[in-house]
Every structure is written in structure tokens, then in C-alpha cells.
């Protein structure tokens, strides 16, 4: 049986260079970065060099990079601290945000009584910027949290436009950039965003590590208390091998970005064209078939089959060795429909099976041909 991994939006395989670098550090740099002896100083030097390296990719200072366990923690740090410490009274989000933002906002409403407002999205899942500005005009000390790239349908937010709107109306701006860091360049010296979340395992780095960008002098305070690690923002002994792995993964991603972007975009274009030819009545959810306004890393398709047959699709794909997902990996195993698709699809399309396929540099056109043949067989059987 073939084995095809097309769930890279959920997690990615480690690059060989990352594995080599992490293995080296695990062997040689096991010291606690807070210790003052030579073993600790060696780990501390590595830690701070990684921080400087990562900051340089986004044109920010090293002190604005705070290492976390991943994107979810970074989202929580920004949102919860903004409400608790910065006087935020309103949170403006969309209904297609990641649950790390949606559920955190809901909890903040329950705990602190903050008001939650939802900016409108169109039938393809794109943010209504006019409505966002209307919300900002009548807001009182607001925090806007909108993801740069939607993890299910791939839509790209005009992050600079939103950041400038927020700045104009005195609102704080946080963006979940988990699906874009390592795949797109962001110059944060030119984009007035206050907080960003990133996760290493989305760009061929290790799981369990990420970072939060916190604009200097933001006034944000920690959520996790203990030692003075991460300049007091995030207590706890740093995972040096994971941080070094993330640094190496990001270095490789941006070093090879142009070549790899072209390659993966070619896979996506090929996949869309062949699907449209083989299964003409196929649907593409959100703006994922818009190559200019969606990420080059994924497509989300809606298959034209009877509702009673739909529950078997994921099972059949798995039997054929094809790894993909019906939505966010965080919803895996849930019987509920994707909240993203529920927000944008009509009732007829919602009962049809939708599947997200996400690509990486390790995929090939031959793999895509196999997947398309399996889909075609399922649709026409």
C-alpha cells in the first residue's frame, strides 16, 4: 500500500538538518540555561543566539521574541494578558479563527465580562474590512485578533491593512501566524502588529516549541510564574534542543523560501487543475483555489457525493494510506462539523464531505496523481 502524507497544515516532518542540529545539542548542550557554570553558560549562549536569529527574520529586536510551547500558548499569552493587564474591554475576532483564539475569547468573556464582536466574512471566508472599521470606530479599548492565514481554507488576511486600521483607532492587534511563519516573510518593522503567535512544527521544526512576538513596551505581563526565564514573560526551564531545532527550521525555511514556494505552489496548482478535469463538479471551499489570495500550502475540497456516503470518505482515504484531515488537527476525532466551514458554506454543501489536503516540499506530483485516482474512484463508485 502506498503512503502519502498530505496533512502538513497539521504538522510537518522534520528537516534532516533540524534532526542533526537537535541531536548535536542533546548530546553536547544539556546544561540548564539558568545555571551560572560553564554548562549553563553554553546553553544560555545558544538560547540567546537563537533568539537573535529568529528576531532578525522579522526585523525586530531579540527582546521581543518570547519562547513558548507553541502557538496555542502564545495566543493565550497575548489575549489573556491584554485583557487582564492592558484594560481591554472588547475583543474583535471572526468566526473562522482557530479555537486557540475563539475558546480563549469565550473564556475571557466569562471571567472578565469583556464584550466579543465578530467581524463579518464573505461567502468565501474573506474578512470584511469595511465592517472591521465600523467595529473599530465604535469600540472602547479593543483587541483585534485575526489570523494571517486560515488553517482550514487557506485564506490570506491583509495583515498590514488590519494593523494600520487598528493603529488608526487605538486598538491592539494580535495575529495567529502559525500557518504563515516559515512560509511567508513578515517585516514587523513595517507592520504595526502588537503580538504574533508561531509554532515550529508547522515549518519542519519540532513539536512543543514556538514563540510569541510581543512588541516592546506593550505592557504585557506573564501568565506563567516562577523563575525569571524569558525576561519574566514565561517562567520555566527552556527546552534548548527544541529552540535550536526551531531556529534551524526557520533558517532553512527562509534560506530556501523562493525555491520551495515555487515548488509547493506548483503542486497545489497541479492538484487543482487535475481535480477540476477529473471531477468537474468538485467544489473548493473558501478562497483556496485563488492562487493570489490563499496560501500555496493547502486546498480544501468539497466532493459531489450523496450525504449517506460521506462518512466513509476519511476511512477510505486512510485505508489507501492517504493522510489528510477534515479540518484543524485540533478537531480530529470530533463528530462536529468544522466551525470554519459552518460559517461559510450553505446547507447543501455542509452535508457533503470536505477534506483538507496540505502540501510540503516532501510531496511529489506522483503522490498527487495517486490521491486524485483514489478520490475519483470513491466519487464514481
| 226 & 330 share domain | no
With contact defined as beta carbons under 8 Å apart, do 68 and 74 qualify?
yes
- Residue 116, classed as helix, strand or coil, is strand
- pLDDT for res 250: 98
Asked which of 255, 285, 320 is the last residue of a domain, the reply is 255
- Distance (Å, rounded) from C-alpha 6 to C-alpha 357? 5
Q: Which one from 166, 288, 324, 330 is the annotated catalytic residue?
A: 330
Of 233-237, 269-273, 361-365, which range is least confident? 233-237
Domain boundary among 228, 255, 282: 255
For residue 381, name the pLDDT band (cuts at 50, 70, 90).
Answer: confident
C-alpha–C-alpha distance, residues 269 and 162, integer Å:
28
| Same structural domain, 235 and 290 | no
- Residue 307's pLDDT is 81
Judge contact between 76 and 212, C-beta under 8 A: no
Local confidence band at 171 (pLDDT 50, 70, 90 cut-offs): very high
Classify the C-alpha dihedral 30-254-191-286 as positive or negative.
negative
Q: Which helix (H) or strand (E) holds 172?
A: strand 172-176
pLDDT band at 236 (very low <50, low <70, confident <90, very high): very high
For residue 130, give every residue at least 6 positions away whose Cβ sits within 8 Å of its Cβ, in sequence order, or none: none
Q: What percent of the chain has pLDDT over 70?
A: 97
Looking at the fold, whether 260 and 248 belong to one and the same domain comes out as: no
Q: State whether 32 and 132 are in the same domain.
A: yes
Give the pLDDT confidence score for residue 231 in this predicted structure: 82
pLDDT for position 329: 46
Average pLDDT over residues 215-236: 86
Confidence check: pLDDT of 306 > 90: no
Across the range 360-370, mean pLDDT stands at 98
Residues 237 and 337 in one domain: no
Instruction: Tell me what the mean pLDDT of segment 100-126 comes to.
Output: 97
- Asked if 174 contacts 181 with a C-beta cutoff of 8 angstroms, the reply is no
Predicted confidence band of residue 335 (pLDDT cuts 50, 70, 90): low
Q: Give the CATH number of the domain where residue 374 resides.
A: 3.90.1150.10
Cα angle, residue 5 at apex, residues 20 and 182 outer, rounded to 5°:
55
CA dihedral 71, 73, 77, 80 (to 10 degrees): 110
Is the per-residue pLDDT at 91 higher than 90?
A: yes
Report the Cα–Cα distance between both ends of the chain, in Å, rounded.
20
pLDDT digits (tens, 9 = 90+) for 37-71: 999 999 999 999 999 999 999 999 999 999 999 99
287 and 304 in a common domain: yes
Among 210, 234, 255, identify where a domain stops: 255
Work out the average pLDDT over 242-269: 98
Helix runs in the chain, H state only: 16-28, 38-57, 71-85, 99-112, 129-137, 159-168, 240-255, 257-278, 313-319, 339-344, 347-350, 365-380
* Model pLDDT, residue 221: 85
Residue 311 confidence class, pLDDT cut points 50, 70, 90: confident
Count CB atoms within 10 A of the CB of residue 134: 14
Q: Give yes or no: residues 366 and 246 share one domain.
A: no
Task: Let me know: does 352 contact 148? Beta carbons within 8 Å.
Answer: no
Domain of 332 in residue numbering reads as: 4-12+256-380
Contact 176, 100 (CB under 8 A): yes
In this predicted structure, the answer to whether residue 336 has a pLDDT above a threshold of 80 is: no
% of the chain with per-residue pLDDT over 90: 87
What is the domain count for the chain? Answer: 2
Q: Same structural domain for residues 132 and 222?
A: yes
Instruction: Tell me, yes or no, whether 244 and 279 share the same domain.
Output: no
Would you call 50 a catalytic residue per the annotation?
Answer: no
Q: Are 239 and 374 part of one and the same domain? A: no
331 pLDDT higher than 50: no
Helix (H) and strand (E) counts in the chain: 12, 12
What pLDDT, on a 0 to 100 scale, did the predictor assign at position 353? 92
Instruction: Give the CATH number for residue 190.
Output: 3.40.640.10
The distance of Cα 296 from the centroid of its chain, to the nearest Å, equals: 14
pLDDT confidence band for 235 (50 / 70 / 90): confident
Please give the pLDDT value at position 327.
Answer: 60
pLDDT band of residue 162 (cuts 50, 70, 90) is: very high
Of 118-132, 191-205, 309-323, the range with the lowest mean pLDDT is 309-323
264 and 243 part of one domain: no
Whether the predicted pLDDT of 334 surpasses 80:
no
Same domain, 213 and 129: yes
Amino acid at each position: 500500500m502506498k503512503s502519502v502524507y498530505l496533512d502538513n497544515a497539521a504538522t510537518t516532518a522534520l528537516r534532516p538538518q533540524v534532526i542533526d542540529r537537535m541531536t548535536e545539542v542533546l548530546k553536547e548542550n544539556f546544561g540548564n540555561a539558568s545555571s551560572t557554570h560553564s554548562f549553563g553558560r553554553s546553553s544560555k549562549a545558544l538560547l540567546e543566539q537563537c533568539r537573535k536569529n529568529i528576531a532578525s527574520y522579522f526585523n525586530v529586536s531579540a527582546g521581543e521574541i518570547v519562547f513558548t510551547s507553541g502557538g496555542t500558548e502564545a495566543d493565550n499569552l497575548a489575549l489573556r494578558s491584554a485583557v487582564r493587564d492592558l484594560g481591554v474591554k472588547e475583543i474583535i475576532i471572526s468566526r473562522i479563527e482557530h479555537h486557540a483564539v475563539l475558546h480563549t475569547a469565550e473564556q475571557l468573556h466569562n471571567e472578565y465580562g469583556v464584550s466579543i464582536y465578530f467581524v463579518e466574512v464573505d461567502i468565501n471566508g474573506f474578512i470584511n474590512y469595511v465592517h472591521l472599521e465600523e467595529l473599530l470606530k465604535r469600540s472602547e479599548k479593543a483587541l483585534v485578533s485575526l489570523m494571517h492565514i486560515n488553517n482550514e481554507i487557506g485564506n490570506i488576511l491583509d495583515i498590514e491593512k488590519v494593523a494600520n486600521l487598528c493603529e488608526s483607532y487605538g486598538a491592539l492587534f494580535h495575529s495567529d501566524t502559525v500557518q504563515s511563519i516559515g512560509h511567508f516573510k513578515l517585516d514587523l518593522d513595517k507592520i504595526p502588529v502588537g503580538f504574533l503567535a508561531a509554532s515550529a512544527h508547522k515549518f519542519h521544526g519540532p513539536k512543543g516549541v514556538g514563540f510569541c512576538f510581543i512588541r516592546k513596551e506593550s505592557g504585557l505581563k506573564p501568565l506563567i510564574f516562577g523563575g525569571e526565564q524569558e525576561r519574566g514573560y514565561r517562567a520555566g526551564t527552556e527546552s534548548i534542543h527544541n529552540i535550536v531545532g526551531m531556529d534551524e527550521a526557520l533558517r532553512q525555511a527562509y534560506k530556501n523560501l523562493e525555491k520551495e514556494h515555487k515548488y509547493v505552489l506548483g503542486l497545489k496548482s497541479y492538484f487543482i487543475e487535475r481535480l477540476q478535469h477529473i471531477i468537474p463538479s468538485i467544489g473548493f471551499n473558501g478562497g483556496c483555489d485563488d492562487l493570489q489570495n490563499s496560501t500555496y500550502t493547502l486546498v480544501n475540497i468539497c466532493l459531489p457525493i450523496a450525504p449517506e456516503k460521506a462518512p466513509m470518505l476519511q476511512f477510505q482515504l486512510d485505508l489507501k494510506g492517504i493522510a489528510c484531515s477534515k479540518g484543524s488537527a485540533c478537531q480530529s476525532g470530533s463528530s462536529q462539523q468544522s466551525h470554519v466551514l459552518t460559517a461559510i458554506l450553505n446547507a447543501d454543501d455542509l452535508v457533503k464531505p470536505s477534506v483538507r489536503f496540505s502540501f510540503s516540499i516532501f510531496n511529489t506530483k506522483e503522490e498527487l496523481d495517486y490521491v486524485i485516482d483514489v478520490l475519483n474512484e470513491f466519487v464514481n463508485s
